[in-house]
Amino acid sequence: MRAIIPPYLLARIASVGEPAFAHAAAAARATLQATPPYRIARRRLRLSIDEDGTITAETAPAPDRTISDAGGREVLPGRRVRGEDDPATGDAAVDEAFDGLGITFDAFWDAFARNSIDGAGAPLLATVHYGRDYDNAFWNGERMVFGDGDGEVFTGFTGSLTVIAHELAHGVIEAAGGLEYQDQSGALNESIADVFGVLVEQQHFGQTADEASWLVGEGIFTDAVQGRALRSLAAPGTAYDDDILGRDPQPGHMDDFVVTDDDNGGVHINSGIPNRAFHLCATALGGYAWERAGRVWYLTLTSGTLSPTADFSTFAAATVAVARAEYGESSEEAAAVRAAWAGVGVDLAG
């Protein structure tokens, strides 16, 4: 299961003894104990007007979305409630999921000419209202699944575009060959999903690298939590600092790499290191992050040459090789990618 909320955070909430957060603690325990199942074209017309008034028509892939409602049960897929040609339902979770899937689809097509998760127009499926007070959202190999949160620590997860894009990006990673969900390759898996999560949001709002927040999961906490988001690519370790949640444990440099058997070897923790590398690269290049830095990361992921057990050094070397191939040996892009990895203490393999 590729979930947005790491198990160490849920375990922290589950251990809280304060009466005011008894409901949240119970919800976290139930979420940890749940065992969700894991499983592994449409076209549309787009019109654009040039500066001279010329109207250009072109066809482009269109998403094929289906949203289901689990009705508070932990059974998938649930009851179908909205499809591609259906109107909005008035249920915020349903409609937010529907819109978020579409925005993510458009972002991958517009930035990378990728037609859905698999590149071949795969349907986009999602289930909302999963479980009772379920404190997570996850990709199960087939669909996006969203809990409603406990209302004390977490709100519903469909309101965060970065959460939706992050989880769908896990599907892209799998379709590209996958990265083993353990240790450094698992942290890369999480990091790449975070990278595409923020890039989708930035593209949707037309933000440059300097304008963006670089936050993942902004808005998923209630007002009772002292925190901006779940993770920060710009400053790992600063997303939250709360009496209940503790302090964001992500490192931003190899000097602080966390060695642990928990969380599949710290996949949600050590992902802060490659996250910061991407942020350093994107901000050094400036402009829209998906155009150059994002393109390098995307081409590296989808090259077909990346080992499923790639570590940070291997992935870093691969991004430098892609930047050189795309932009030139002595290009600004290649220099920025190399400097970004050096900035987080990752040595290039080979």
Residues annotated as catalytic are: 167, 268
Euclidean distance between CA atoms 205 and 284, whole angstroms: 20
Question: What are the φ/ψ torsions at residue 78 (nearest 5 degrees)?
Answer: 95, -175
Determine the Cα angle at 303 with ends 115 and 119, to 5°: 10
Q: What pairing do the DSSP bridges indicate for beta strands 124-128 and 65-69?
A: parallel
CA dist 97 and 80 (Å) reads: 13
Query: Residue 27 in contact with residue 148, Cβ under 8 Å?
Result: no
Rounded-to-integer distance, Cα 319 and Cα 106, Å: 24
Amino acid identity, position 223: D
**Spatial CA neighbour of 84 closest among 106, 65, 68:** 65
Residue 130 to residues 31, 41, 158, 288, 307, Cα–Cα distance (Å): 10, 28, 12, 35, 34
What's the rounded Cα separation, in Å, for the pair 198 and 190?
13
Number of Cβ within 10 Å of residue 184's Cβ equals 26
E strands in the chain = 2-3, 43-49, 55-61, 65-69, 79-83, 124-128, 137-139, 144-146, 215-216, 231-232, 241-242, 246-247
d(CA 256, CA 320): 23
DSSP state of 346: P
In sequence order, what are the beta bridge partners of 127? Answer: 68, 145
